[in-house]
């Protein structure tokens, strides 16, 4: 304790804004007072307010738009942002954990989501993603629909935190995944795509028939194989 030598000004501003949120003075979707007003009201300079707002922006709490009128200003976001993915990507860059950690965690989340899925889960989003993969795809399209397919499955578990974590893990790996796919030459691409699609279909079929254990196992093998590149 007593580990706080000083309270930095911008932290005080963040606390003030957090307090506004907790008391309901502002709510998601609302516009914050302007930077100049905030600075004046809190008795600090505008640069300090801006430092606070920048951090809140990176954390996915607010977004700023300039100009004048109802669309301009700094707003409390209603939807999660890629902030978590940004953070995880940073940690990854700093080598605070490695690819195997990320994949293990991803597999854990997906297994759990499949096994705890409610009986009446709506699989239509997964089915749609599956159908979109039936025709030849570019690498970008495959990444997009592969993400949609797996995310749709995890979303069925109705745990928003877990779904958000899953999305962020995948987001943090996105660039590395793209690099990995780019290394597959044109000849091998079609067979690669077909195999991915076939595995997706098997996972979906297992889910659709209610065989969760099998779906979980198939999913684990699928993810582990393609991400760790051990065909």
Partner DNA sequence: TGCTCGAGTGTGGTCAGACCACACTGCGGC
Partner DNA sequence: GCCGCAGTGTGGTCTGACCACACTCGAGCA
**Which residues contact DNA by CB under 7 A?**
5-6, 8-10, 32, 34-37, 43-48, 50, 53, 64-74
Size of the site for a copy of itself (CB under 8 A): 45
173 binds a copy of itself (CB under 8 A): no
In the complex, least distance from residue 176 CB atom to a copy of itself, rounded to whole angstroms: 12
37-56 mask for a copy of itself (x: CB under 8 A)?
A: ----------x--xx--xx-
175 binds a copy of itself (CB under 8 A): no
Cβ proximity of 206 and 220 under 8 Å: no
In the complex, least distance from residue 2 CB atom to DNA, rounded to whole angstroms: 14
Integer CA distances (angstroms), 40 to 34, 100, 137, 176, in order:
10, 49, 55, 45
Alpha-carbon gap, residue 205 to 198, rounded angstroms: 11
Alpha-carbon gap, residue 222 to 196, rounded angstroms: 8
- DSSP class of 63: E
- Binding to a copy of itself (CB under 8 A) within 65-94 occurs at 76-77, 79-80, 83-84, 86-88, 90-91, 93-94
Contact with a copy of itself (CB under 8 A) among 128, 160, 194, 198: 160
155 binds a copy of itself (CB under 8 A): no
**Burial zone of 175 (CB within 10 Å; 0-12 exposed, 13-18 middle, 19+ buried):** exposed
Out of a copy of itself, DNA, none, what residue 22 binds, judged by CB under 5 to 8 A for its kind, is a copy of itself
Out of a copy of itself, DNA, none, what residue 196 binds, judged by CB under 5 to 8 A for its kind, is none
Out of a copy of itself, DNA, none, what residue 109 binds, judged by CB under 5 to 8 A for its kind, is a copy of itself
2/186 with CB nearer a copy of itself: 2
Phi-psi map region of 55: left, alpha, beta (phi>0 left; psi -120 to 50 alpha): alpha
User: Burial code of 80-113, b = ≥16 C-beta within 10 A, e = fewer?
Assistant: eeebbbbebbeebeeeeeeeeebbeebbebbbbb
């Amino acid at each position: 304790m007593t580990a706080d030598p000083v309270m930095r000004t911008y932290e005080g501003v963040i606390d003030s804004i957090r307090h506004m949120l907790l008391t309901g003075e502002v709510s998601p979707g609302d516009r914050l007072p302007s930077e100049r007003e905030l600075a004046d009201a809190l008795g600090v300079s505008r640069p300090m307010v801006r430092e606070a707002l920048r951090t809140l922006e990176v954390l996915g709490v607010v977004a700023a738009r300039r100009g004048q009128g109802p669309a301009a200003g700094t707003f409390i976001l209603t939807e999660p942002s890629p902030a978590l993915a940004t953070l995880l990507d940073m940690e990854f860059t700093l080598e605070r954990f490695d690819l195997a950690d990320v994949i293990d965690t991803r597999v854990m989340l997906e297994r759990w989501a499949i096994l705890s899925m409610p009986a009446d889960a709506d699989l239509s989003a997964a089915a749609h993603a599956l159908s979109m993969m039936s025709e030849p795809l570019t690498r970008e399209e495959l990444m997009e629909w592969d993400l949609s397919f797996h995310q749709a499955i995890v979303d069925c578990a109705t745990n928003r935190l877990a779904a958000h974590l899953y999305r962020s893990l995948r987001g943090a790996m996105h660039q590395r995944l793209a690099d990995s796919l780019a290394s597959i030459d044109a000849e091998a691409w079609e067979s690669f795509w077909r195999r991915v699609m076939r595995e997706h279909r098997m996972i979906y079929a297992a889910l659709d028939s209610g065989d969760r254990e099998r779906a979980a196992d198939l999913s684990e093998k699928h993810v582990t194989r393609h991400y760790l590149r051990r065909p």
